[in-house]
Structure 1
Amino acid sequence: MLIDKIIDFENNFAEIQSTVIEKTYGKIFYDKNNPLSYDSNHAFIYEDSDYEVAIKEIVQFYQSIDITPRVYTFSRQTSAVGQYLESKGFKKSLDEICFFVQKNKKIIDIPQALQINRLNQIDETINELLSSDKEQGEWGYKSLLKSIDNENFYLFGGYVDEELVCIASLYSKNDISRVNDVFTKKDKRGTGYGSQLINFITDFNDQTLKTISYLYAHNPNAIKVYKKAGYEEINAIIRGCYWLE
């Protein structure tokens, strides 16, 4: 089912931007050069594994590289892994409605003012773009540096008068793809550039990748745009983030 495919996709999504350590109980993702990125530095644990062994190894590993031990969970209901982590003193953050699937592909009604190109390398213009927002600047740039060489990763940039004003990416695997890295330069927000880029991605996915497209979002303004493009809420997946201070 689609829900199970998305859960599996999320469990493995960090593979494009991290080094992966395979374990019998799950996977450990890390990037010592990008310690601020939670998505690059976390583990996931199979529900039917030995939690005690898993947590011991995960905590020891991340502490050895001076990174906060962190575990992500994606589940249809309360996660047994999450309950165990709480019992061991992990802090938690849960999101119940945060995934959206494009069930009805729609083009947002907005004039096209952007020139959109696929970006095959990460240069200083992308760093300048992301640095316009301190919350995403450094870790977002480093995540893209790791992702760009993956053959199934597509990064697009929107330009106005040769200035890079927004970016967005698609990561495709099998018959589904995840929209990510949707970012507009801070002083260019509210101009409709994000909507134009989403229109482009909708066309690209429909005509080239031919996959089911989904995304993770929590910003209310961004969610309004995605809904206009035909994305609908999935209320069957709970995203959990657990960390040990």
Structure 2
Amino acid sequence: MQFPFSVKRMLETELRFPQRFTNMVQRNYGLIFFNEGNKRSYDSNHALILDLIGVESSVRDIESFYKSKGINPRIYGAFLPMELEKLKPSLENNNFTIDLLPDRFYHHDQESSLMPIDGLRIERVRNLTIDVMEAIAMEFGGDYTLRVAERHLQHPSYHLLCGFWEGEMVSLASVGIFAGYSRVDDVYTRTDFRGRGFAGAMLHHLIQYHRQLSTNHLYLYSSSPESIRIYQKAGFSLVNLETPIWEAYKILQPIG
């Protein structure tokens, strides 16, 4: 049974999904995610301020925590009303840079108009082969993305799908299944194989694949106009939020 779609529930899922692949500590003001073995991954290393009382001390504590681990401090917005207005003075006082992000969320609520491609073999990958590792490291975000995938694969509710064309890996996508909501991510096509419909075929397959596993609501986020057009053809619709999407960070040291 599928419950009605709730923006609040979707955002709660989004805020906590990094628990699947990184470490987390709780503070009285919120959450801190960290992974000293993958310092370049923003999703692995960021904080959420969930209590907007006493934010000056919260910002300082976050900076101190990450500094002690050799990680540049980063704070993601938590989709709370007026949060940026309340946090901005403390962030600026502590020399954080604030970026408003163009990302938007999309919820799958219509039937896909995309089609499969004959000859494109799509399968779930439970362990990273050398070919898949090389493709992720070289074309899909670098070694930090690879490290996230390696740890994510340890969770049984993370499904990484790879598309193969004439024996060569050409595309991938993932879906993480949570309570009531499933998060689509990692939708990539290798550069040499773009423009041939592989991304659309992969997404169409992922939607059908997910239906065999769960009645959850599917959602994703994107800022790429080209990708968004494919998502819309797959049946994803824009989710209107009442708060901006933002992050704040401070560069304390270069991270190799």
Instruction: Please report the TM-score for the alignment, with normalisation by the length of structure 2.
Output: 0.88
Alpha carbons of structure 1 residues 169 and 82: separation in structure 2 relative to 1, 3 Å: farther
Looking at structure 2, the residues matched to 141 and 195 of structure 1 have their Cα atoms a distance apart, in angstroms, of: 23
Determine whether 1:91 maps to 2:97.
Answer: yes
Please name the residue that 1:167 is paired with: 172
Q: How much has 1:67 moved relative to structure 2?
A: 1.1
Say which SS state the counterpart of residue 66 (structure 1) adopts: coil
Say which SS state the counterpart of residue 150 (structure 1) adopts: coil
Please name the residue that 2:239 is paired with: 234
Aligned pair count?
Answer: 244
Identity over aligned pairs, percent? 25
Letter in 2 for 1:187: D
Looking at structure 2, the residues matched to 97 and 56 of structure 1 have their Cα atoms a distance apart, in angstroms, of: 27
Determine whether 1:197 maps to 2:205.
Answer: no
Looking at structure 2, the residues matched to 230 and 78 of structure 1 have their Cα atoms a distance apart, in angstroms, of: 31
Looking at structure 1, the residues matched to 34 and 199 of structure 2 have their Cα atoms a distance apart, in angstroms, of: 30
Bigger mean CA deviation after superposition, 219-228 or 56-65: 56-65
| Structure 1 residues 80-229: aligned runs within 5 Å | 80=84, 82-83=87-88, 84-95=90-101, 98-109=104-115, 111-133=117-139, 136-229=141-234
Looking at structure 2, the residues matched to 122 and 82 of structure 1 have their Cα atoms a distance apart, in angstroms, of: 41
Looking at structure 2, the residues matched to 197 and 70 of structure 1 have their Cα atoms a distance apart, in angstroms, of: 32
Q: How much has 1:49 moved relative to structure 2?
A: 4.3
| Structure 1 residues 46-61: aligned runs within 5 Å | 46-61=50-65
RMSD, aligned CA: 1.9
Q: How much has 1:18 moved relative to structure 2?
A: 0.7
CA contact (8 A) 1:76 1:238 kept: no
Letter in 1 for 2:136: L
Please name the residue that 1:35 is paired with: 39
Letter in 1 for 2:72: T
Q: How much has 1:29 moved relative to structure 2?
A: 0.7
CA contact (8 A) 2:115 2:201 kept: no
Please name the residue that 2:68 is paired with: 64
Alpha carbons of structure 1 residues 165 and 52: separation in structure 2 relative to 1, 3 Å: same
CA contact (8 A) 1:132 1:185 kept: no
CA contact (8 A) 1:99 1:215 kept: yes
**Is there any run of 5+ residues in structure 2 with no aligned partner, and where?**
252-256
Alpha carbons of structure 1 residues 88 and 119: separation in structure 2 relative to 1, 3 Å: same
Runs of 4+ in 1 over 6 A off after TM superposition: none
Please name the residue that 1:15 is paired with: 19
Instruction: Please report the TM-score for the alignment, with normalisation by the length of structure 1.
Output: 0.92
CA contact (8 A) 1:130 1:183 kept: no
Looking at structure 2, the residues matched to 53 and 10 of structure 1 have their Cα atoms a distance apart, in angstroms, of: 25
Say which SS state the counterpart of residue 100 (structure 2) adopts: strand
Letter in 2 for 1:63: K
CA contact (8 A) 2:11 2:79 kept: yes
Alpha carbons of structure 1 residues 82 and 108: separation in structure 2 relative to 1, 3 Å: farther
Looking at structure 1, the residues matched to 100 and 116 of structure 2 have their Cα atoms a distance apart, in angstroms, of: 34
Determine whether 1:5 maps to 2:12.
Answer: no
Say which SS state the counterpart of residue 37 (structure 2) adopts: coil
Bigger mean CA deviation after superposition, 41-50 or 56-65: 41-50
Say which SS state the counterpart of residue 91 (structure 2) adopts: helix
CA contact (8 A) 2:52 2:87 kept: no
Q: How much has 1:79 moved relative to structure 2?
A: 1.9
